[in-house]
Amino acid sequence: MSLSTKSRRKAGLLILAVTGLLAVTPMLSGCGGSGREEALKQAVYVGTGGYDPANDGKIVIVCGKLELLEPAYDEDLGITIEAPHVMRSGQKLKKKELNQAMTGNNMEWNSNFQYGDFIGKADVGEFHLGEDFLQNMMVRYDPDLDEKMLEEAGYAIVRDFKGNTREEDKNARPYVGTARMGRGVYEEGDVRYDYTVPGPKPGEMVTIIGIQNQDTINYVEGTYENMLSGELDKDTAIRKTTHP
């Protein structure tokens, strides 16, 4: 057999393999809202059960405690966040009036595109969460920031000032800034970082929806929220992931 014939044969086998894989991989992205919900009704409800080889390649709904094996780490800033998925954005400080003092009313924070997206490692019940599953976890909640860890990394929790003062508003959203900013000393051009994490916390019961590949759960396209708080029944889990 010639080299060119072998190459064509290998290419043909590769195409067949990829086509076959796509044919068996559950995908919901092409379905509308009601169609997506109907497709999810075919999911296998595992609940708090364990691995069953018969479910490989199928959409499954699994309940269990979220166990954080390795927290997400922002390698750019050297900051660890106790969550399996973390997103970071940044805002740069600008004075509204250059000749006025740096008070709350004279501080303006503008998006600085200091974007970062970080994942750790986590299990739910007997299953590992795949990187694609972690990457697609919804993140929209404030993290529990470890002040000691931030201090060791050279940072601090910072919050907006109250009105026309330099007094920190303890009820304002927490951001991460430099140690100097943590002492209430700001300069124009300073950057503060905003982290967001998933709602469920490590140690809490959750319900996840994904594709079972042996002992790993991978992301299934078309699910809005692939991890939900609490131990949910099948119908509730499907409703919440299709109507967030």
Which position has the token pair 């974007």?
A: 115
**Per-residue pLDDT at 9:** 42
Distances (CA, A) of 11 to 15, 21, 55: 6, 15, 30
Q: How far apart are CA 139 and CA 225, in angstroms?
A: 10
**Per-residue pLDDT at 36:** 65
- Count CA atoms within 13 Å of residue 115 on its CB side: 2
**Per-residue pLDDT at 27:** 52
Long-range contacts of 76-80 (CB under 8 A, 24+ apart): 76/116, 77/153, 77/155, 77/176, 77/193, 78/153, 78/154, 79/149, 79/150, 79/153, 79/155, 79/176, 80/146, 80/149
**Per-residue pLDDT at 101:** 84
**pTM of the predicted model as reported, rounded to 2 decimal places:** 0.80
Q: Which residue ranges form the domains of the chain, and what is each CATH number? A: 1-72+120-140+199-244 (2.40.50.140), 85-117+142-196 (no CATH)
Buried b (16+ CB within 10 A) or exposed e, 70-88: ebbebeebebbbbbbbbbb
**Per-residue pLDDT at 213:** 97
Q: How far apart are CA 26 and CA 222, in angstroms?
A: 10
Q: How far apart are CA 198 and CA 182, in angstroms?
A: 26
Pair of tokens at residue 91: 């805002």
Ramachandran angles phi, psi of 3, nearest 5°: -60, -40
**Per-residue pLDDT at 1:** 47
pLDDT in tens, the chain (244 residues): 443 443 444 344 343 333 333 433 455 555 555 566 677 889 999 999 999 999 999 999 999 999 999 999 999 999 999 999 999 999 999 989 888 888 888 889 998 778 999 999 999 999 999 999 999 999 999 999 999 999 999 999 999 998 888 888 989 999 999 999 999 999 999 999 999 999 999 999 999 999 999 999 999 988 889 999 999 999 999 988 887 6
Distances (CA, A) of 200 to 64, 81, 82, 197, 205: 12, 14, 11, 9, 8
**Strand residues in 48-153 grouped as ranges (E):** 59-70, 72-74, 79-81, 85-95, 107-111, 116-119, 121-124, 127-129
Helix (H, G, I), strand (E, B) or coil at 21: helix
**β-pair type (72-74, 44-47):** unpaired
**Per-residue pLDDT at 25:** 46
**Per-residue pLDDT at 28:** 57
Q: How far apart are CA 90 and CA 20, in angstroms?
A: 43
Quickly count: other Cβ atoms within 10 Å of residue 169's Cβ: 13
Q: Which helix (H) or strand (E) holds 152?
A: helix 147-153
**Per-residue pLDDT at 221:** 87
